[in-house]
Homo-oligomer: A and B are copies of this chain.
């Protein structure tokens, strides 16, 4: 049946697929570059956390094909609805990395400008953002725009009721949304087998009349190709599309997590063998699209990128206590003004 996803994840780097074309080498090279920079950024953020400069950091190491694929398969006029895990995706989308880290540094809940980046704040309450993506996509198409909204979520988040409601609203309103599930095998400590008994998470599309596909999330070419066609499907007015990418997070859930409690070194090692950057690099090199010089240049760019982040993160911007009251409402209520006055008195007493 045409509305069934593939019975196994689409792969492209190691084998051709009848339904999906390999992206252009130049696009794959750009993807490779973004993945290398993204990984370096991710490592930098992990280091900053160890140094106490970030309150918390959820790493996406191992998921770079998805992180970058999501960012590169949509345009600047499209919208992204990311989670806490998707910092690398935001960086690949071109958002200032220090602004991305503002949330995790603890300065404010969102550090980048949502309207101009067309990127929603990184979302923590699981799956809730998928509904925002549907509403926004519907709103944009009402205005006659061909904007697509891409909603990122994890395997665990698919269990939340909001995901169900989002798929259904999107299908009923034929909203141009791509739901992109990064199935990294775990929701914190809970493995997929305790999360779902479905043939695949992509199969969840069927019950809504939402077209879906599953893809090898460590195969950057396949991720790009499948997301490209999902985005095209949505943009063309054919309604939402659900993509499940099978991937793995190499780091613990966050720096505060102890992954040894729930998974084996062998499992991690197994996935190490399918490292998305190595897979892509091997492919590019085999095709003659990447040589040592280019690889080195990109590694250098990544180092520079990280260095700039490191330097800029040295300065901790002053946070203004009065910010507490500034944006609760467009105009503060009399009650907030009273409380602000109280705070001022307290601050003056210091």
Binding site for B on A (CB under 8 A): 1, 3-4, 159-165, 168, 171-172, 174, 194-199, 201, 203-210, 239
Contact = CB atoms under 8 A, between A and B. Distances in A.
Nearest to A1: B4
Contact of A203 (B159, B174, B201, B206): B206
A279 to B, nearest CB: 29
B197 A172 contact: yes
Contacts of A171: 196-198
A174 to B, nearest CB: 8
A323 B163 CA distance: 41
B194 A198 contact: no
Nearest to A240: B197
Counting chain B CB atoms within 10 Å of each CB, which of A162, A201, A205, A206 scores highest? A206
Nearest to A172: B197
A163 B203 CA distance: 17
Given A172-B194, A197-B239, 18 more contacts: A1-B4, A159-B165, A161-B161, A161-B165, A164-B164, A164-B165, A168-B196, A168-B197, A171-B196, A171-B197, A172-B196, A172-B197, A196-B208, A197-B208, A198-B207, A198-B208, A198-B209, A204-B207
A118 B196 CA distance: 29
A186 B4 CA distance: 27
B162 A161 contact: yes
A229 to B, nearest CB: 20
Contacts of A3: 199
Contacts of A206: 198-199, 203, 206-207
A199 B203 contact: no
A1 B199 CA distance: 11
Nearest to A171: B197
A81 B206 CA distance: 27
4 A-B pairs with least C-beta separation: A161-B161, A164-B164, A204-B207, A197-B209
Contacts of A239: 197
Contacts of A203: 206-207
A168 B159 CA distance: 7
Contacts of A199: 3, 206, 209
A235 to B, nearest CB: 18
26 contacts: A1-B4, A3-B199, A159-B165, A159-B168, A160-B161, A161-B162, A161-B164, A161-B165, A164-B164, A164-B165, A171-B198, A172-B194, A172-B196, A172-B197, A174-B197, A197-B208, A197-B209, A197-B210, A198-B206, A198-B208, A199-B206, A203-B207, A204-B207, A204-B208, A206-B206, A207-B207
Nearest to A242: B207
Contact of A209 (B1, B165, B168, B196): B196
A330 to B, nearest CB: 31
A147 to B, nearest CB: 21
